A and B are shown apart, each in its own frame.
Chain A
Amino acid sequence: MRNIFIIAKNTLKLEIRDKILYGIIVFGLLYVFFTLFLADLVLKEPAMVKAFGLTGIYFFNAIIALFLGTTSFFKDVDRKVVYFILSKPVSRAKFVLGKFFGLCMVLLLTSAILGVAYVGVVMYEHAGFDWIGLTAIAMQFLEMALFLAFAIFVSTFASSLLSIVYTSGVFFLGHIVSQLVTDAKAIGLGGIKLWLVEILYYIFPNLEKFDARDFAIHAVPTPFTSFAFAVAYAAVYIILLLSAAVWIFDKKEI
């Protein structure tokens, strides 16, 4: 366990020194503050501040997760920095887990920074302390953790560029897959076509389960069952993805 923590801490330390990350966070912060003006232009309603703000945080965290997930692990292996680590009493499983938790800590930090800015902006709009919005941000974080686990899994066998393609593909499919099944049934699709759509539904994570932004926008508390289900869903997927990543990485000739 200690080695996982050491690698995670080191990953966090190195990533927060990356100027690209700073650039994305600064843009994220500017966007969150800019929602004040966007909302004024549209309806002058706090709901619009929340909608724009939460979507912005989601968007910028997704960029950070994609950027970190597809490069950090791959670079360590490709540039052979792992030789220093794995020649010490560190198993490959601990290295994978350390990288994952380290990158999660980076995302937690960026979510916290953008979340504080969001809460400040919402309070400035006289909408009170938006704890429902914070719940939505927490659920977004779970989605991003799953996203990171998938990116690390792909990085164990694919190049950085391919990881971006696959991870973006899963991100896209993960958001439309449940709608695809509903639409397929609505238009009476049957046979092998429906079967294929259903396979997609069961293989790809349903990322819509992490979307609690509508609850925050309409100031309706997120049902506890939705939150608990999202936590369990993310945990199961992350465990499966990281187990597969460890299994592949264990067999990889480095």
Chain B
Amino acid sequence: MVEFSHLTKAYKKRVVVDDFTLSVDVPIFGFLGQNGAGKTTIMKMIVGLLEPTSGTITIDGALSSHPIFKKKLGYMPETPYFYERMTGIEFLRFCDELFDNNNSGTSPAARTSHYEELLKKVGIFAARDAEIRTYSKGMRQRLGFAQSLVNDPEYLFLDEPLDGLDPIGRREMKEVMLGLKQEGRRIFLNTHILADVEEICDEVGIVHKGKLLYAGSVKAFCAGKPLEERFMEAVQAHETEARLEPSKK
């Protein structure tokens, strides 16, 4: 279970995540929100790239930024950047080696075959020995996804994983995510694409201006209406409330 308790992140006076409290215990959870809503900041705090200003994030009771926990998580950043002169397989090897004891008891040949399997899974096996600088945007997304799986993680945090993929690529990646769900892994994904959420997420969290507007099943949130319409209603209701709040005071 992933628990956010009064999580707040502020850059000087600008609050980007505001008293965010939530418990998640479903296989695929989607953070949904506009660009700049605070989704990426939340994810960066989960994986320890950013320190919360206040509040905590715990996963199965332990702080998510703890080095021991980091061994159990996979993370794919938004618009991933790579070492351009590395090949795809070299990059996976480098990422894998950073997990201290990950290689113990496994032969180099077995590890290489593990990387090849991952590249096959995300559909870029043919480009395994090509330098990353020759990869298209979609191939980079797929490589970013593959590296998040290199340590066989229990929890996956994927920031806009379907961005830049063509329709076939999106379909393939969604199938991979559903396959990972079948294997028992927990997936968190950030997206601003409503159709993806509707299709693969068990529950969603609607984030707007750093605040959690809703958390629960997509079906309950939609209440018979299209997701896009309900999303707009929720955001507009929050905006109206925020405008009225100063006058109440």
- Chain A residues within CB distance 8 Å of chain B: 2-3, 6-7, 10, 14, 17-18, 79-81, 83-91, 253-254
Contact = CB atoms under 8 A, between A and B. Distances in A.
Interface stretch (B79-87, B212-220, B241-249): B79-87
B134 to A, nearest CB: 14
Chain A contact residues, majority secondary structure? loop
A6 B94 contact: yes
B199 interface: no
A6 B75 contact: no
Interface string B144-179: 000100010000000000000000000000000000
B49 interface: yes
A81 B11 contact: no
Contacts of A14: 83, 85-86
B80 A88 contact: no
A139 B140 CA distance: 43
Contacts of A91: 67
Contact of A84 (B77, B97, B151): B77
B48 interface: yes
A87 B153 CA distance: 13
Interface centre among A86, A91, A254 (most CB of B within 10 A): A86
30 contacts: A2-B100, A3-B98, A6-B97, A10-B94, A14-B83, A14-B85, A14-B86, A17-B85, A80-B77, A81-B82, A81-B83, A83-B44, A83-B75, A83-B77, A83-B80, A84-B75, A84-B77, A84-B80, A84-B95, A86-B48, A87-B70, A87-B77, A88-B95, A88-B98, A89-B67, A89-B68, A89-B70, A89-B100, A91-B67, A254-B50
B96 to A, nearest CB: 9
Given A14-B83, A80-B81, A87 B47 contact: yes
Interface of B: 11, 44, 47-50, 67-68, 70-71, 73, 75, 77, 80-83, 85-86, 94-95, 97-100, 147, 151
Contacts of A3: 98, 100
Nearest to A91: B67
Given A18-B85, A83-B44, A84-B95, 6 more contacts: A84-B75, A87-B48, A88-B70, A88-B99, A91-B67, A254-B49
Contacts of A6: 94, 97-98
A169 B50 CA distance: 33
Interface centre among A3, A87, A253, by most chain B C-beta atoms within 10 angstroms, is: A87
A253 B50 contact: yes
A10 B85 CA distance: 11
B75 to A, nearest CB: 4
A85 B82 CA distance: 11
A86 B49 CA distance: 7
A89 B102 CA distance: 11
A10 B94 CA distance: 7
A83 B70 CA distance: 13
B94 to A, nearest CB: 5
A18 B86 CA distance: 11
A219 to B, nearest CB: 43
